[in-house]
Amino acid sequence: MILVTGADGFVGTALVSELKRRGLAYRAVARKGREGYVGIGDINSRTDWRAALDRVDVVVHLASRAHVRNDSSISGNIQFQASVDGTLNLARQAVQAGVKRFVFISSIKVNGEVTELDRPFAAADTPNPQNPYARFKLAVERGLFDLSKMTGLEVSVIRPPLVYGPGVKANFATMLEWVDRGRPLPLGAIHNKRSFVFVDNLADLIVVVASHPAAAGEVFLVSDCEDISTTELLRRMAKALGRTSWMMPVPTPVLNLAAAAVGQRAVTSRLTDSLQVDVSKTRQLLGWAPRVSVNEGLWLTAGAFQRTNAALDPLARSA
């Protein structure tokens, strides 16, 4: 049986659907219990996982704080350590319950924030976390591998880049909104390359990693295996949404300069910088390949986005 924490989240929902599709036994865990989910409450160093771990062979740990405090204050450090301890507490109890494998969903941010064009991050690269969230993920990875050495628990780590799909939130949803409303965007001359992963592709890989003999003790990167620029992403979004793409070819240096002048360089960097990942290890060691292309993933994401908007606003434009 596979235990899925954070099963009611964006990735967790897709993973549960994939497990159902394959007819695999699972137990879905969320902070609040309701039909189909086991409630566990807050995840910390005192959380009692014994009932949830009964008869479980594999733990897939998705539950995590979306953000760890971006400061070095005492409260920030306490929160950071509490987040790490909460995951390691689960792993230690998993060992006691006889769990064979622990799959931790980390983040490509452990590798860093930016890559040089066509020089992607690789799984074997020296970690270079740039913010508290990435440092938290790395601290958990290291703690899990240390526990594995002491106990024999098989540990596997997956570091995804930006995950998108039906129901996506945050920056990706914002870009969909921009394009769907036909807003002119100064993003028509960006020549970066970024890796993305469709949520069903990630769910598929998680299931593979949960059972593949070669996955034990390894770190894997994942993507849709097609890196595209922000400009190209927005154009494909427009096509998937059935909208006209209105993009002005403002040079990237001009965008960065304007953003820095108003204190928004960090926001613009996510649009103009490159972040590519090399998934050759994942493909070769596990025989895995994404089953959904970028174009298909964008069509599915755009369709869900428009259906949701139409349900919320029956008068929303459809032309």
What amino acid positions are annotated as catalytic residues?
Answer: 133
- Give the side-chain half-sphere CA count within 13 A for 279: 25
What token pair was written down for 304? 């869900």
Spatial contact of 192 and 253, defined as CB atoms under 8 Å apart: no
By C-alpha distance, which of 315, 281, 306 is closest to 120?
281
Task: For residue 200, count other CB atoms closer than 10 A to its CB.
Answer: 21
Spatial contact of 67 and 14, defined as CB atoms under 8 Å apart: no
Angle at 221 between CA 219 and CA 226, to 5 degrees: 165
Q: Which residues, including other chains, have CB under 8 Å from residue 115's CB and lie 6 or more apart? A: 121, 274, 275, 276
Spatial contact of 283 and 289, defined as CB atoms under 8 Å apart: yes
